[in-house]
A and B are shown apart, each in its own frame.
Chain A
Amino acid sequence: MRRIALILTLLVAGVAPAAAEKLVVSLSNHRVAVTSSFVGEELVLFGTIEPDRPGMPLRPSYDLVVTVTGPKQTLRTRRKERVLGIWVNTEAREFVSVPGYLAILSNRPVDAIANTDTRRLLQVGLNNFLLPQRIGPDLADTVPNDPFRTAFVRLETQSGLYRQSSTAVTFLTPTVFRTAIPLPSNAPTGSYPIDVKLFADGKMVARTSSALEVIKAGFEQFVAESARDHGLLYGLVTSMMALLTGWFASVVFRRD
């Protein structure tokens, strides 16, 4: 028992940063409401690097990587091929439980922040982020240059849902930083965990987390929920609305 405790202590000590810093972060807004006028929003994350205990020295320079992940979704990436002269979806891969939104924001290119192994271990950068695909009976991520993976990341980036920016984090002073988290209008609703990693000399020295939430509000929420939970009633009401509009028009424009 004591030996296990000793090993655990050693393990923790081995992973935990030697020089002790801690991160304090704050978000401009924890809850984003999607209303009928929603066209996207930008949240601001502020933070400072502080010594773990007062009086302890800080390092001269730090790197910061902020990873924001949206609610998990399963998506199919399809590829068209020419069959008998027309373009048809022939092959498809399913990306299982991947984030519906993914932003990797840093103060300089991630390759310069840490080496390949560290980046892979900590999932730093779009190429190292785990995007499991269903390949036969297995679930596995592929090499970063797999054509379906590249296409998936490219399409998600085009629709503004995935992004990687090496200039998004700015250090206002050597220990105070800020970053903007852009949420596009098509951002899925749900909770968005935020993971903040602090690096120094290629190693992670501190880590903290936060979260934001995107919710449908008011009329949007009402319509979306009715459509999902009460399909029949929703369909009947929509049909009635159509009849009412049609009837109204025939009364308004009656000429005889």
Chain B
Amino acid sequence: MQIYLPIADMPVNIFLVLGMGLAVGFISGMFGIGGGFLMTPLLIFIGISPAVAVASVASHISASSFTGAITYWRKRAIDVALAMMLLAAGILGTATGVWLFTALRTMDQLDLVIGLSYVTLLTSVGGMMIWESVRAELRARKGMPATLRRPGSHSWVHGLPLKMRFKRSKIYVSAIPVWAIGFSIGFIGAILGIGGGFLLVPMLIYFLRVPTATVIGTSMVLTLITMASATVMHAVTNHLVDALLALILMVGGVIGAQFGARTGQRMRGERLRLLLGLLVFAVGLRFAFELVVKPEDLYSLRHVRND
């Protein structure tokens, strides 16, 4: 069944988009991530312009992260103080990202920046995840205990001033890295149409040593608020949020996420991380391929304005 999207200005098959929402939702539920890094490329692939895809996926991610946040809130697994500190910088990052997004679009370089950023981010993060989980697997085979968290060890991050105590997470860290992480996630999210969950969770664990109990819930709150504000900002500045497209994606996404979460709970953590790493890496390679291989058509059109 075809349905005409009012902002993307093109008809799409409603079941195809719903199916994409379900599939990405399944993956996001399984790994506890937003899934924007899969959804945005998929939308671009079916012919929706990158700008509309990025802007609309923001609202789709806010829906799925809200579902997640509610669940973690009930389990009291959210560090509100930490989330608020991340957020203060996150909103600023989002605003900067939306501004740069608009500027790049007028310079004809938005597609390139989106492509390049996806390649660097996804291949490096995916590669790191694969490496980490393979090493953990090997260690487990040899019978060595996994050393995930070393409470006593301090890195240079812990030497920074402006220290704050976050009770729920039981950590005592400087506000500077917290702001830096919040800003970069908001910034990346606005430009690339990704919630940044798959970046934020490792950052919180490695730099701030946030315990696993609160890390996903807190990251979801941050994703929720940055993506909801990205939706509003994209709507105000670029008028490119397709509410109908977003609604179809959301409905598919939240349903898929439920089934994904159940599957994820039955799998071992290490195995799950390896799978996610492979997936992230593969999407990164796909983008690299597109940038390096000679495009079928060297010319492309961009609509500037209606006269």
Using a CB–CB cutoff of 8 Å, the interface residues on chain A facing chain B are 34-39, 71-82, 85-89, 92, 94, 96-97, 100, 148, 151-152, 154-156, 185-186, 188, 190, 216, 219-221, 223-224, 227-228, 231-232, 234-239, 241-243, 245-250, 253, 256
For chains A and B in complex, what number of residue pairs have CB atoms within 8 angstroms? Answer: 192
Query: Can you list 25 A-B contacts with CB-CB less than 8 angstroms, sorted by A residue number?
Result: A36-B3, A37-B2, A37-B4, A38-B4, A75-B303, A76-B301, A78-B301, A79-B298, A86-B112, A87-B294, A87-B295, A151-B298, A152-B299, A155-B300, A227-B6, A235-B236, A238-B241, A238-B246, A239-B231, A245-B250, A246-B63, A247-B66, A247-B70, A249-B254, A250-B66
Please give the distance in Å from A80's CB to the nearest CB on chain B. 5
Hey, which chain B residues are within 8 Å of A228, CB to CB?
239
Nearest neighbor of B69 in chain A, beta-carbon distance: A246
A79 nearest CB across to chain B (Å): 5
Number of chain B residues whose Cβ lies closer than 8 Å to a Cβ of chain A: 61
B304's partner among A35, A74, A247 (CB-CB below 8 A) is A74
A241: contacting residue among B59, B64, B70, B111, CB under 8 A: B59
Tell whether, in the assembled complex, residue B303 and residue A73 are in contact, meaning their CB atoms are under 8 Å apart: yes
Residues A72 and B70 in contact in the complex (CB < 8 Å), given A87-B291, A242-B250: no
B180 shortest CB reach to chain A, Å:
26
Q: Quote the shortest CB–CB distance from B134 to chain A (angstroms).
A: 29
Asked if B60 CB lies within 8 Å of chain A CBs, one says yes
Task: Answer yes or no: B283 CB below 8 A from chain A CBs.
Answer: no
* Known A78-B108, A89-B109: A73·B299 in contact at CB below 8 Å: no
Q: Are A246 and B4 in contact (CB under 8 A)?
A: no
Q: Mark B156-179, 1 if CB is under 8 A from A, else 0.
A: 000000000000000000000000
Whether a CB of chain A sits under 8 angstroms from the CB of B292 is yes
Q: A37-B4, A75-B304, A243-B62 are in contact. List 13 more A-B contacts (CB 8 A).
A: A36-B3, A39-B4, A77-B299, A89-B108, A227-B6, A232-B232, A235-B236, A238-B59, A242-B250, A243-B228, A245-B250, A247-B66, A249-B257
Distance (whole angstroms) from the CB of A199 to the closest CB of chain B:
30
Chain A: minimal CB distance from B261 (Å):
9
Q: Does B285 sit at the interface, judged by CB under 8 A?
A: no
B275: Cβ under 8 A from any A Cβ: no
A74 to B300, CA, bound (A): 14
Does B209 sit within 8 A of A, measured CB to CB? no
Beta-carbon nearest neighbor of B73 in chain A: A250
